[in-house]
Amino acid sequence: MKVLVPTDGSEHSMKAVQQALELAEKQGAQVTLMSVAYYVADYLEEMPPNIREKLEDEAKGALKKGKALFEAKNLPVETVLVSGLVPANLILQKAQEGKFDRIVIGSTGQNALDKIVMGSTATKVVAHAPCEVTVVR
């Protein structure tokens, strides 16, 4: 079973990583962690390189944090860093192209507001995924 875990380093995304870790341990799932460094469309062209770098560093940090949990248990894991405009679209594209069997995603992320049940990335992924989706609270 191929499992895709989109992570932004947030609390709920780390819970998703943890669930995928259990699938790797118990069912031998092949897990890929994916983080999207994303930009606001209007400013893409004029965005200073150091801002881009900062966003990429954040995405790399999220991957590193997740990868460490697998390494601690000597389990293999792949990591993918993608840059773009809309994380959900890139996650859906990856799930399709990589023929993933399941996406394990957090219910909310870095922009979480207290009362929000599910963030926009998670909502879009659930609505359009080509495979099973587990939403982790």
Ligand X SMILES: Nc1ncnc2c1ncn2[C@@H]1O[C@H](COP(=O)(O)OP(=O)(O)O)[C@@H](O)[C@H]1O
CB of 36 to ligand X, least distance (A): 4
105 lies in the site for ligand X, by CB under 6 A? yes
- Total binding residues toward ligand X, as defined by CB under 6 A: 23
User: Residue 63's binding partner, choosing from Mg ion, ligand X, none, with beta-carbon cut-off 5 to 8 A by kind?
Assistant: none
Smallest separation, CB 25 to ligand X (Å): 20
Binders of ligand X in range 20-39 (CB under 6 A): 34-36, 38
Binding at 112: pick from Mg ion, ligand X, none (beta carbon under 5-8 Å per type):
ligand X
The first and second tokens of residue 28, run together, are: 């031998």
Residues lying near ligand X in the complex (CB under 6 A)? 6-8, 10, 12-13, 16, 34-36, 38, 87, 105-106, 108-112, 119-122
